[in-house]
Amino acid sequence: MIYPTGILQNAKTNRYHPISFRQAPMPGNAENGPAYRYKSFGHHTEGFDTLDQAQEWVKAKDDCRDVGMVWLWDGEGIPAMVEWFT
């Protein structure tokens, strides 16, 4: 399985954390149309010093597909996200 993966930028530490998503259909199996609902299931905990390093890590993983997105994270709690990808 290939997981869509983007990057979280921690606003507190200015480190970059790859975050991957798994498909998570809407409750009741509602039609999604051209996009599908995904929920994050984990991020690279330690993170990287630069965005380039984080993106290189994603590209090196056979089970990740870089979605080219960067989300700002306040560094509080455990990041959990729901996104729609085509």
Return the domain boundaries, the chain.
Answer: 3-85
Q: Which of 78, 21, 17, 19 is nearest to 53 (CA)?
A: 17
Contact 63, 76 (CB under 8 A): no
Q: Which of 40, 42, 46, 39 is nearest to 16 (CA)?
A: 46
pLDDT tens-digit series, residues 34-62: 889 999 998 998 999 999 999 999 999 99
Q: Give the global pTM.
A: 0.89
Q: Would you call 86 exposed, middle or buried from its count of C-beta atoms within 10 A (0-12, 13-18, 19+)?
A: exposed
Contact 44, 17 (CB under 8 A): yes
Q: In this predicted structure, what is the pLDDT of residue 31?
A: 63
